[in-house]
Chain A
Amino acid sequence: MTGLMLEGILLTIITAATPLLFASIGELVTERSGVLNLGVEGMMAMGAVIGFAVAHSTGNIALGVVGAILAGMAMAALFGVVTLIFVANQVASGLALTLFGLGLSGLIGDAFVGVPGAGLARVSIPGLSDLPVVGLLFRLDPLTYLAVAITIAVSWFLFRMRGGLVLRAVGDSHVSAHALGYSVIRVRFMAVLFGGACSGLAGAYLSLVYTPQWTQAMTAGRGWIALALVVFGTWLPGRVAIGALLFGGVSILQLHAQALGVGVPSQFLSALPYLTTVIVLVIISRNRALVRANTPAALGQSFVPDR
């Protein structure tokens, strides 16, 4: 295997992992506030189509990314109004949001099917990008840098800042947080919006960087994988990032294995990323204390303040 090929594989792994990282970090923040939003897939699809549409019609990819963020947030706001203000069931509303997002994105994107898009150029960091092997880590597209930055920022926010402490408190016991005078609904709404923005970014990454075009249902279940990664990473940003890389890595490697004609049935190889994720999930979940300490206790529970 040549060095160039190895570099190519590494690059595809990173680009496969980035949309998962965006979506799962956003969902992690949402879930840490105690809200389970199963609509990630739908928000991603909307982000992908709006991102592509805006970028295509304005010719400005940055505007497309902003459009995708806003589309994700609009979807999340819809979810927030329904579940937080009208106190609808979060699981049912999230599933509905996914179906709605997939359908609506197909409708909007109908005009863009088959239209070639302009990919986002990579940014090389001078000096560092010329290093051997690791140099490729500094020749990535700007959104990947953003995903890494968001992961670090979320980790810092959750565990080092007061706002993050309040967010975790709301997710642990909304009754107690309310008794202390925190606005549970407002905190949760902001967390849901952040999750939407991140899902929108994940969608934009798919339609503007990963495969610069629009095809219907191009999210291909990545929203569900992101949801699983949050649990797999026990609601810790660092672990979620590792999970995203692992899943991205195995899915790319199995593609290469299939291309090389390894004597294993292709169906098995296609199942490998899921299998690996499930196995690692089981192994991680064996540390009950860690899982208990980081699972938001109020996850999925609706809050109605008494007055």
Chain B
Amino acid sequence: MEVILAGAETPAQSRQRPDSPPLLHATGITKMFGAFKANDGIDLAIRPGEIHALLGENGAGKSTLVKILYGVLQPTEGRILWKGQPVGIPSPSAARKLGIGMVFQHFSLFEALTVVENIALALSDRKSRSALAREIEQISVEYGLPLNPSSVVADLSVGERQRVEIVRCLLQNPELIIMDEPTSVLTPQEADDLFVTLDKLTARGCAVLYISHRLEEVKRICHHATILRHGKVVSECDPQKETAAKLATMMVGVEVRKLSSDLPPPQNTRTRLSVTDLSLPQPHPFAVALSHISLEVKAGEVMGIAGIAGNGQGELFDALSGERTCDRAASVSIDGKPCGNSGVTARRRLGAAFVPEERLGHGAVPRMRLSDNVLLTRHSTGDHLLRAGVLDTDAARQLADRISRSFDVRKGTPDPEAGSLSGGNLQKFVVGREIDRQPGVLVVSQPTWGVDAGAAAIIRQALIDLARSGSAILVISQDLDEVLEIADHVAVISKGHLSPSRPTSGLTREEIGLLMGGMGEPLTADRGALHAG
């Protein structure tokens, strides 16, 4: 597998914002939901041929603005000029007629239908399926988006699904494409492919409105940035001239706290989580088999597991949490007690806690209230939420409140459904629910996936603080910067193999990248070389 380091390479050409009259100019856009102003007098000018970043925390009003531009929502006030002419955008099809296309964050594809059928649904002209299939093939070659028109979407990978969305967008000859966090679901390699496609698009004068939480990525590809906070435009800038930290500060409004791990990880402490020679076959044909995985996490330290998506991270998490058990009890031990063959609750009783990657549906039940979601992982961990088998809803509600307070979970009502929280707030809640227990061992996967800078800082600090109080933390993350920032030791997972762990201090992202690519071979040979470098 080719090693791709997102952000490591900068494009050769300088990114100059094109100097032309705006293609789309929105002025004074205000959107009220009841008494709440989701957008408050927003001005936004997008020029042809530019990649225009729209930045802001979760809940800053980005999605609302984008929905207004795509005709899904109607603004309460304000007007939109398209090529200098005032226009109304009453529906998505009106937006598409103007030349505005959108690639959604949560894909708007139909899983049971084929690629051609999905694309035909978005086109207003009714050409034959075979003619359309030819056109799809032509576009996919032109823009480097390989696709098989007759595959069923359910069988496609996330990256391929995004290609379907993009091709669908391109077939409508759009002049402006709105992309809502397009890389949040992609591997670094897929993201790089996407950037190449975006460059081809802008070279033809197409404009892109680009929403992302990944500031390094915005700095790398965007010509201009508009920053929203609390529904207002707070700043416009050239992202290449700013540091990521400065951008984050503009988004959050206060300086994002630098993580403090002044305390070095304690030395020679006892091992709290140990995995020895864990092997598990593939659960299904698209999964990765785990082979001979061994690791140790000591009290007081954060261990990071880096790796490109789909190399066994999910399978490893399932094996550690007990969602999949193995025959040999000794393969996983928590505080010295073998538990490889026991399930999730038994492992929780030993003092372990687990935060899975998907917060909706795996970490939390969307249609259940926060207080009920608290019960799901803490029903038998000595929190007295059950009295003789009967739920103590008051205690659960108080616990949910305590978690919300200490992790700054912002919610509309005192005890809302989990699905009504924004992604970042729910993630704070899900991580907070486990940390609040002060578990001896915490295994967390993608702790800050799709979470804004402010919330990410809170979560990462909480993980470090928990470790320094004597717990053992294992963080599985595809975000290299995150691993380098919070982990004391790092190991790399690749095709179900785990490298020996190494101290993070002095290790650069390039070195980890090499590990990602050079996995499978024993690492003792190149260890010396890396240390010398």
Binding site for B on A (CB under 8 A): 162, 165-166, 168-169, 172-173, 175-177, 179-182, 292-297, 307
Q: In the bound complex, do residue B120 and residue A297 qualify as a contact, i.e. CB atoms below 8 Å apart?
A: no
Q: In the bound complex, do residue B112 and residue A166 qualify as a contact, i.e. CB atoms below 8 Å apart?
A: no
Q: In the bound complex, do residue A294 and residue B92 qualify as a contact, i.e. CB atoms below 8 Å apart?
A: no
Q: In the bound complex, do residue A180 and residue B112 qualify as a contact, i.e. CB atoms below 8 Å apart?
A: no
7 contacts between A and B (CB under 8 A): A169-B117, A176-B109, A179-B92, A179-B108, A181-B96, A182-B121, A292-B154
- Per-residue A-contact encoding for B74-107, CB less than 8 Å = 1, 0 else: 1000000000000000011100100000001001
Q: In the bound complex, do residue A165 and residue B111 qualify as a contact, i.e. CB atoms below 8 Å apart?
A: no
Q: In the bound complex, do residue A162 and residue B126 qualify as a contact, i.e. CB atoms below 8 Å apart?
A: yes
How distant is B103 from chain A, measured CB to nearest CB, in Å? 11
Q: Which of A162, A165, A292 has the most CB of B within 10 A?
A: A165
CA A176 to CA B153, docked complex, whole Å:
13
Q: In the bound complex, do residue A176 and residue B120 qualify as a contact, i.e. CB atoms below 8 Å apart?
A: no
How distant is B166 from chain A, measured CB to nearest CB, in Å? 15
CA A268 to CA B93, docked complex, whole Å:
58
Cβ–Cβ < 8 Å partners of A168 in chain B: 110, 112-113
How distant is B233 from chain A, measured CB to nearest CB, in Å? 24
Q: In the bound complex, do residue B104 and residue A173 qualify as a contact, i.e. CB atoms below 8 Å apart?
A: no
Q: In the bound complex, do residue B126 and residue A180 qualify as a contact, i.e. CB atoms below 8 Å apart?
A: no
Residue of A nearest to B116 (CB): A165
Which bracket fits the contact residues of B?
A: 20 to 34
Q: In the bound complex, do residue B111 and residue A180 qualify as a contact, i.e. CB atoms below 8 Å apart?
A: no
Q: In the bound complex, do residue B111 and residue A181 qualify as a contact, i.e. CB atoms below 8 Å apart?
A: no
CA A165 to CA B122, docked complex, whole Å:
11
CA A276 to CA B108, docked complex, whole Å:
40
Q: In the bound complex, do residue B154 and residue A169 qualify as a contact, i.e. CB atoms below 8 Å apart?
A: no
Q: In the bound complex, do residue B72 and residue A172 qualify as a contact, i.e. CB atoms below 8 Å apart?
A: no
Known: A166-B121, A179-B104, A180-B122. A172 touches B113 (CB 8 A): yes
Known: A162-B126, A293-B154. A179 touches B72 (CB 8 A): yes
Known: A165-B120, A166-B121, A181-B93. A294 touches B108 (CB 8 A): no
Q: In the bound complex, do residue B109 and residue A294 qualify as a contact, i.e. CB atoms below 8 Å apart?
A: no
Which chain B residues numbered 152 to 192 have a C-beta less than 8 Å away from chain A? 152, 154
Q: Which of B73, B74, B121, B154 contacts A180 (CB 8 A)?
A: B121
Q: In the bound complex, do residue B112 and residue A293 qualify as a contact, i.e. CB atoms below 8 Å apart?
A: yes
Q: In the bound complex, do residue B154 and residue A176 qualify as a contact, i.e. CB atoms below 8 Å apart?
A: no
Q: In the bound complex, do residue B92 and residue A297 qualify as a contact, i.e. CB atoms below 8 Å apart?
A: no
Q: In the bound complex, do residue A172 and residue B73 qualify as a contact, i.e. CB atoms below 8 Å apart?
A: no
CA A170 to CA B104, docked complex, whole Å:
18
Q: In the bound complex, do residue A165 and residue B112 qualify as a contact, i.e. CB atoms below 8 Å apart?
A: no
Q: In the bound complex, do residue A181 and residue B73 qualify as a contact, i.e. CB atoms below 8 Å apart?
A: no
Q: In the bound complex, do residue B126 and residue A176 qualify as a contact, i.e. CB atoms below 8 Å apart?
A: no
Known: A165-B121, A179-B72. A294 touches B112 (CB 8 A): yes
Cβ–Cβ < 8 Å partners of A296 in chain B: 112
Interface of A is mostly: helix
Q: In the bound complex, do residue B92 and residue A165 qualify as a contact, i.e. CB atoms below 8 Å apart?
A: no
CA A173 to CA B73, docked complex, whole Å:
20
Which chain B residues numbered 100 to 141 have a C-beta less than 8 Å away from chain A? 104, 107-113, 117, 120-122, 126
Cβ–Cβ < 8 Å partners of A173 in chain B: 108-111
Closest 8 CB pairs of A and B: A181-B93, A176-B108, A181-B92, A172-B110, A179-B108, A172-B112, A169-B110, A181-B91
Residue of B nearest to A175 (CB): B108
Cβ–Cβ < 8 Å partners of A169 in chain B: 110, 113, 117, 121
- Per-residue A-contact encoding for B186-217, CB less than 8 Å = 1, 0 else: 00000000000000000000000000000000
Q: A172-B111, A179-B108, A180-B92 are in contact. List 13 more A-B contacts (CB 8 A).
A: A165-B117, A165-B120, A172-B112, A173-B108, A173-B109, A173-B111, A176-B110, A177-B121, A179-B92, A180-B121, A182-B121, A293-B154, A296-B112
Cβ–Cβ < 8 Å partners of B91 in chain A: 181
How distant is B100 from chain A, measured CB to nearest CB, in Å? 12
Cβ–Cβ < 8 Å partners of B93 in chain A: 180-181
Q: Which of B96, B111, B120, B154 contacts A162 (CB 8 A)?
A: B120
Cβ–Cβ < 8 Å partners of B71 in chain A: 181
Residue of B nearest to A294 (CB): B112
Cβ–Cβ < 8 Å partners of A177 in chain B: 110, 121
Cβ–Cβ < 8 Å partners of A293 in chain B: 112, 152, 154
Cβ–Cβ < 8 Å partners of A179 in chain B: 72, 92, 104, 108
Cβ–Cβ < 8 Å partners of B111 in chain A: 172-173, 297
CA A168 to CA B122, docked complex, whole Å:
14
Residue of B nearest to A159 (CB): B117
Cβ–Cβ < 8 Å partners of B112 in chain A: 168, 172, 292-297
How distant is A14 from chain B, measured CB to nearest CB, in Å? 33
Cβ–Cβ < 8 Å partners of B120 in chain A: 162, 165
CA A182 to CA B72, docked complex, whole Å:
12
How distant is A173 from chain B, measured CB to nearest CB, in Å? 5
Cβ–Cβ < 8 Å partners of A295 in chain B: 112
Q: In the bound complex, do residue B73 and residue A165 qualify as a contact, i.e. CB atoms below 8 Å apart?
A: no
Cβ–Cβ < 8 Å partners of B109 in chain A: 173, 176
Known: A165-B120, A173-B110. A307 touches B92 (CB 8 A): no
Residue of B nearest to A182 (CB): B121
Known: A168-B113, A172-B110. A307 touches B73 (CB 8 A): yes
Cβ–Cβ < 8 Å partners of B126 in chain A: 162
Residue of A nearest to B107 (CB): A176
How distant is B59 from chain A, measured CB to nearest CB, in Å? 16
Cβ–Cβ < 8 Å partners of A162 in chain B: 120, 126
Q: Which of B72, B107, B110 has the most CB of A within 10 A?
A: B110
Q: In the bound complex, do residue A180 and residue B108 qualify as a contact, i.e. CB atoms below 8 Å apart?
A: yes
CA A108 to CA B120, docked complex, whole Å:
48
Q: In the bound complex, do residue B108 and residue A165 qualify as a contact, i.e. CB atoms below 8 Å apart?
A: no
Which chain B residues numbered 389 to 433 have a C-beta less than 8 Å away from chain A? none
Cβ–Cβ < 8 Å partners of B107 in chain A: 176
CA A293 to CA B71, docked complex, whole Å:
31
CA A250 to CA B93, docked complex, whole Å:
51
Cβ–Cβ < 8 Å partners of A294 in chain B: 112
Cβ–Cβ < 8 Å partners of A176 in chain B: 107-110
CA A162 to CA B128, docked complex, whole Å:
10
Residue of A nearest to B104 (CB): A179
How distant is A171 from chain B, measured CB to nearest CB, in Å? 8
How distant is A29 from chain B, measured CB to nearest CB, in Å? 16
Residue of B nearest to A179 (CB): B108
Cβ–Cβ < 8 Å partners of B72 in chain A: 179
How distant is A183 from chain B, measured CB to nearest CB, in Å? 10
How distant is B268 from chain A, measured CB to nearest CB, in Å? 53
CA A168 to CA B111, docked complex, whole Å:
11
CA A175 to CA B72, docked complex, whole Å:
12
CA A162 to CA B121, docked complex, whole Å:
8
Residue of A nearest to B124 (CB): A181
Residue of A nearest to B72 (CB): A179
Residue of A nearest to B96 (CB): A181
Residue of A nearest to B110 (CB): A172
CA A176 to CA B161, docked complex, whole Å:
13
CA A295 to CA B154, docked complex, whole Å:
13
How distant is A187 from chain B, measured CB to nearest CB, in Å? 12
Q: In the bound complex, do residue A165 and residue B154 qualify as a contact, i.e. CB atoms below 8 Å apart?
A: no
CA A280 to CA B416, docked complex, whole Å:
45
Q: Which of B74, B104, B113 contacts A165 (CB 8 A)?
A: B113
CA A179 to CA B113, docked complex, whole Å:
16
CA A109 to CA B19, docked complex, whole Å:
78
CA A294 to CA B117, docked complex, whole Å:
14
Residue of A nearest to B120 (CB): A165
Cβ–Cβ < 8 Å partners of B122 in chain A: 180
